[in-house]
Structure 1
Amino acid sequence: MSKIKIALCQMNVIDNKQKNISKAISMINEAASHNSDFVVLPEMFNCPYSNDKFVEYAENEKTSFTLDSISKLAKKHQIHILAGSIPEKEDSNIYNTSYLFDKKGNIIAKHRKMHLFDVDVEGGIYFKESDTLTPGNKFTVCETDFGKIGIGICYDVRFPQLAQINVGKGANILFYPGAFNMTTGPAHWELLFRSRALDNQVFCVGVAPALNEDASYHSYGHSIVVNPWGEVICQLGQKEELKIVEINLDEIKKVRNEIPVLKNRRNDLYEIIEK
């Protein structure tokens, strides 16, 4: 399958887990009614983006009501669902974790955010995920009905090495559920997604929560899809919205034939060594 309908669920996340899950269910059901193949939820789609809420909302994978709800929908509609991310608790650790479900409702991949968002921008944003969260240490590339995809989460998109390794493992689409803010979003969101797509000649997809002005953390929104040429083929605004975007994976081969960047890399002089 070369053409894929990807549903971007830019949902409004509030301080109520059940209502957040209900909103996600509603958007997934609507996406399925439009024959979507792949549904993507935002980072922390069931939880306000706040360290204290990460602790309060954290769930164990084996007993997670959130994941069980998404699994049932994937099976019901026979679609792939990338469950943005949730605060995942394992023993004494909490991770920012994304889960990928196949058409049978099975978890076929999980990605724990590798690079924690610890920033202090003068006059802008201060946030330290490391106050609460533990970083993941595994690259996540998974085989799907549409070929291989790579998964990162939000701040992970700033690190080109991660994208390059995932593409080296065969990923043709890079997914980054994210929640940039009103400082970093206008400055870097589109630039980073275009850069990762252009660097690696792949599709790059980011899905964020809508802007909730009542929340302590203000998400920039602007869920985005960029093609292998580095062109933005879809970008939303700040409000809650479901958008279905069709991509054609054949574009990857075309672009790589026209400008063979990957083939022309001087791996005899430099390379990324995965440990």
Structure 2
Amino acid sequence: MKIALAQMCSGIDPNENARQVSSLISGAAAGGATMLFTPEMTGLLDRDRSRAAGTIRNEADDMVLSTALSAAKDSRIWVQLGSLAIKASGKAGEKWANRSYLINPDGEITARYDKIHLFDVDLGPDESLRESSAYSGGHNAVVAMVPEATLGLSICYDLRFPALYEALTNAGADILSVPAAFTVPTGKAHWEILLRARAIEAGAFVVAAAQYGGHEDGRSTYGHSIVVDPWGEILLDMGEGAGLGFCDLDLEEVQKVRSRVPAVANRKRFEMPVKLT
């Protein structure tokens, strides 16, 4: 299975981001990919919540989503749209969803996933991020069928919570998608090691399309979109810069690795520890 990853520097204008998405989809198809993976917040990366509120739409009106649906159909390619900021309902004052989409070559949405773990952190005296102030977290893990494989969906900060990936692989996932917009400090420290750990634990491919660079809203993201095989080896690291990367996945490796080290099959349920005094 040949896949493509889009490493983007999404900005505050959904029109420009939609144009880039259309170009990336056609470029991935022209390169022979069966499926394209894009980063978290493909359609809008804007930490100015007041300004973002003027451009965030519901699914029916979102320009980037409609562009992706049309381009996927025109190019006859699967698209895993890493995530979009979406109005979850028409209720005034309701928080948004950080939502991932799986789109088939007929231009149809076949799966949705709302990010469960929201990024509420203090990275230092000058950087505090509270995703939950504007977004509502999801509640359901999601797997979906793609050509020759089962795809488990996650988004960025989810990466730090291995129980989610255990649930996804227990449900049959052999490819794990981790679209992201990692900050530079956390990316340098933890990005690669966490992705490799999730791949090794699951005996699965991990595909992580990422945002990169200095964005219009003033933030900087780490890049290094990566594909990791089920043994934990890096098959692709896109480093810095925006563009497309391609990688071939030998899906038979999943069962080979899981037979060699049957950690998934050997998982056990257990009682929570009792605190002794």
Relative to the length of structure 1, the TM-score reads 0.92
CA contact (8 A) 1:124 1:183 kept: no
> 1:1-275, aligned counterparts within 5 Å?
4-52=1-49, 53-89=51-87, 90-91=89-90, 92-123=94-125, 125-212=127-214, 214-267=216-269, 269=270
Q: Deviations over 1:201-254 (max 9, x none)?
A: 000111111212554211111101101001111111121121011111100111
Which SS does the other structure have where 2:266 is aligned? coil
CA deviation after TM superposition for structure 1 residue 147, in Å:
2.2
Residues paired across the two proteins, number: 267
CA deviation after TM superposition for structure 1 residue 199, in Å:
0.6
Relative to the length of structure 2, the TM-score reads 0.92
Unaligned runs of 5+ in 2: 273-277
RMSD of equivalent CA atoms? 1.6
- When residues 84 and 57 of structure 1 are mapped into structure 2, their CA distance, relative to the original with a 3 A threshold, is farther
Separation in 1, partners of 2:135, 2:171 = 27
Separation in 1, partners of 2:201, 2:140 = 21
Q: 1:24 corresponds to which letter in structure 2? A: V
CA deviation after TM superposition for structure 1 residue 135, in Å:
0.7
Query: Which 4+ stretches in 1 moved above 4 angstroms?
Result: none
- When residues 258 and 30 of structure 1 are mapped into structure 2, their CA distance, relative to the original with a 3 A threshold, is same
CA deviation after TM superposition for structure 1 residue 138, in Å:
1.1
Q: 1:71 corresponds to which letter in structure 2? A: L
Structure 1 residues 139-148 or 171-180, which shifts more? 139-148
- When residues 62 and 201 of structure 1 are mapped into structure 2, their CA distance, relative to the original with a 3 A threshold, is same
CA contact (8 A) 1:11 1:24 kept: no
Separation in 2, partners of 1:245, 1:270 = 41
Separation in 1, partners of 2:233, 2:113 = 26
- When residues 51 and 128 of structure 1 are mapped into structure 2, their CA distance, relative to the original with a 3 A threshold, is farther
Which SS does the other structure have where 2:221 is aligned? coil
